[in-house]
Structure 1
Amino acid sequence: MTFSGRSTRSKMTAMVILATTFLGFPAFAQQNVASRPEDLIKPVTQCREVQNDAARLACFDAAVAALAAAGEVAIVSRRDVEQNQRRLFGFNVSALNPFEGTNGENNLQSISATMTSARDLGRGEWLITLDDGSVWRKTDSADVQFSARRQYPVTVRRASLGSYMMKVGDAPPFRVKRE
């Protein structure tokens, strides 16, 4: 690109315009990329309702362009989300967990399993392993009222302030944390 015949001031003005145009474009494109995954998928599904073939194709083209501009996009089935919520239940990974809803919505509130083993650690502490492989440590001073040699149905539920309560068989619940 040459600027022959133009003054230095004109050259500088042209360069500033070009720079702001090309440097500003990525910022503009990023602002128009949806911040939530559902904002990327919803337009695709809405295009199906367009009756005119040419308009529907244009709608799909625009929706796919938005998906492409978003970079890598992964689609996860509800079943996979539920399995991952169960696998992560009890761990404090909410900031890292893409499968946990905001403000507690759609979050798993409890799990049911079978106790496969329980180990008395002394001083009222117990390690309890469930059939899903999760290991829980009893954290309160309540006496346990179950036999470590039997398998019991277990329910672990969210309690207040980020804690968890475990109910083993018909025994009273006690506080636990995930190991």
Structure 2
Amino acid sequence: MLRALLAVAAGVALAAGPALADPAGGEAALAGLAACAAQPEPVQKSACYDQAYATLREAVRTGDVVIVEKREAQAAQRGAFGLSVPAFNLFDRANGGKALESVAGEVAQARRDEHGRWIVTLAEGAVWRQIDDEPMRAPRPGSAVEIRRAAFGSFMMKVDGQRGVRARRDD
């Protein structure tokens, strides 16, 4: 799952890079649309929009502009929760400009590591590892899990409403 997320991040970063760096890329395509709104004559405005649309369509075709639906951005943001992947900050716009503060899910499997701490795999594939020594009842497949941001970049994981334990994303 991590490889897939990193591949998406790299693809978005590479695709967005030319759009941000090349004035003939994505910025020019969007600037062309904005300039059309200033055209006073309807015929000129229509011709301008036709040209701007063609430029934007070409930028999408070549990968200079990548169009991501809000639900796709939210899914990517949710999938990256807990990972240190700066490229995913661009998906924060899908959440009103705010970073995701928590995720809820379901336990797919859980096991103890060599120190007796829990390693919990969520149904969507994310793996979370307990990093403190707080006691916790055994998570079972189907158990409800909530993971939220805590102080200083850490995370708290609650399973079936139990007291939270400190955790980190492990995949």
Normalised TM-score (structure 2)? 0.66
Within 5 Å, which residues of 2 pair with 1:69-148? 72-94=64-86, 96-97=87-88, 99-101=90-92, 105-144=97-136, 146-148=137-139
* 4+ long deviations beyond 4 Å: 34-37, 45-51, 64-71
Question: Structure 1 regions of 5+ residues with no counterpart?
Answer: 1-29
Q: Which residue identity does 2:98 align to in structure 1?
A: N
Give the superposed CA RMSD.
3.5
Q: Which position in structure 2 is the counterpart of 1:33?
A: 23
What SS does the aligned partner of 2:33 have?
helix
Match of 1:154 among 145, 153, 162: 145
Between structures 1 and 2, the one with greater helix share: 2
Higher relative contact order (CA 8 A, sep 6+): 2
Alpha-carbon distance in structure 2 between the residues aligned to 1:35 and 1:140: 49
> Alpha-carbon deviation of 1:108?
1.7
Asked if the contact 1:127/1:138 (under 8 Å) is kept, the reply is: yes
How high is the sequence identity, in percent, across the aligned residues?
A: 31
Whole-Å separation in 1 of the counterparts to 2:138 and 2:22: 60
- String of CA shifts for 1:109-152, please: whole Å, max 9, x gaps: 211101121101142421001111111000112111x2244531
Q: 1:46 to 1:158 in 2, by over 3 A?
A: farther
Task: List runs of 5+ in structure 2 lacking aligned partners.
Answer: 1-19
Number of the residue aligned with 1:17: none
- Equivalents in 2 of 1:31, 1:120: separation in Å? 48
- TM-score, normalization by structure 1: 0.64
User: Quick one: distance in 2 between partners of 1:54 and 1:76?
Assistant: 31
Offset, 1:58: 4.4
